[in-house]
């Protein structure tokens, strides 16, 4: 089964386009749509997390700055999603709702900077190819509890049938379970692959890492 899978940000943006198209068709732009309200807040939340991850560690970045920058970026993006739609009330609503999470993100960002300087986080690496992806060790060094692979781009083309060449696939829909060598890998609707490595020995962990790379290469080929 071949499918194109979208990352959360691209998916939410595409749904916003559909909802606003429908609002226009039904001439209901005067009514505050509750689902659109939640979708715009979600997009802003994703943007805030990305900003907090990407900005240079030495740059001061308060919660308010993260929030206002995220709202501004989302406003720009929504202009390309649905140029003539008035999102101002939805963006104001998102800004109100996300003030507290923004302050928390700012604090976490500072702490993450220190943690990374001390090299305490698990390794992460980008694997190049036709559809590049990232492999991330989840947890602090010495206590890695999982491996996550996710596509670098907004969308990825996958062929789920190819997974049968590697192991047995269980489930009728996402999240699929792929069993290989007594390990379970979870394939989700955003194209990500996850496996738990809790209490693994170094040897078992390296084996899981080899397998998850093999699965990613097959899935994203």
Q: Which residues bind another protein (CB under 8 A)?
A: 8, 11-12, 15, 18-19, 22-23, 26, 28, 31-36, 38-39, 41-42, 45, 97-98, 100-101, 146, 171-175, 177, 184-186, 188-189, 194-196, 198
CB of 18 to another protein, least distance (A): 7
Q: What is the DSSP letter of 171?
A: -
Kindly tell me which of 101 and 113 has the beta carbon lying closer to another protein. 101
CB of 62 to another protein, least distance (A): 19
Kindly tell me which of 33 and 152 has the beta carbon lying closer to another protein. 33
Mind giving me the DSSP string for 102-135? HHHHHHHHHHHHHHHHTT-BPPEEEE-SSS-EEE
Tokens standing for residue 73? 């970026």
3-class secondary-structure state, position 207: helix
Kindly tell me which of 4 and 60 has the beta carbon lying closer to another protein. 4
CB of 207 to another protein, least distance (A): 15
Residue 97 — left, alpha, or beta (φ > 0 → left; ψ -120 to 50 → alpha)?
Answer: alpha
Q: What share of the chain is helix, strand, coil (3-state, %, to 5)?
A: 50, 20, 30
CB of 189 to another protein, least distance (A): 5
């Amino acid at each position: 089964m071949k499918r194109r899978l979208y990352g959360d940000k691209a998916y939410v943006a595409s749904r916003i386009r559909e909802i606003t198209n429908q609002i226009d068709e039904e001439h209901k732009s005067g009514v505050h749509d509750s689902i659109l309200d939640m979708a715009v807040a979600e997009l802003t939340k994703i943007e805030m997390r990305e900003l907090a991850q990407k900005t240079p560690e030495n740059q001061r970045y308060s919660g308010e700055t993260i929030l206002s920058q995220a709202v501004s970026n989302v406003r720009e993006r929504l202009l390309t999603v649905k140029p003539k739609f008035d999102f101002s009330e939805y963006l104001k609503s998102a800004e109100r709702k996300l003030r507290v999470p923004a302050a928390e993100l700012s604090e976490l960002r500072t702490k993450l900077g220190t943690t990374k300087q001390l090299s305490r986080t698990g390794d992460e690496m980008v694997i190049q190819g036709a559809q590049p992806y990232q492999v991330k060790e989840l947890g602090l060094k010495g206590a890695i509890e999982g491996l996550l692979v996710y596509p670098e781009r907004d969308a990825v083309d996958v062929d789920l049938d190819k997974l049968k060449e590697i192991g047995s696939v269980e489930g009728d829909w996402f999240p699929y379970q792929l069993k290989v060598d007594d390990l379970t890998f979870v394939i989700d609707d955003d194209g990500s692959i996850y496996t738990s490595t809790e209490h693994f020995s170094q040897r078992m962990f390296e084996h899981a890492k080899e397998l998850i790379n093999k699965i990613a290469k097959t899935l994203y080929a």
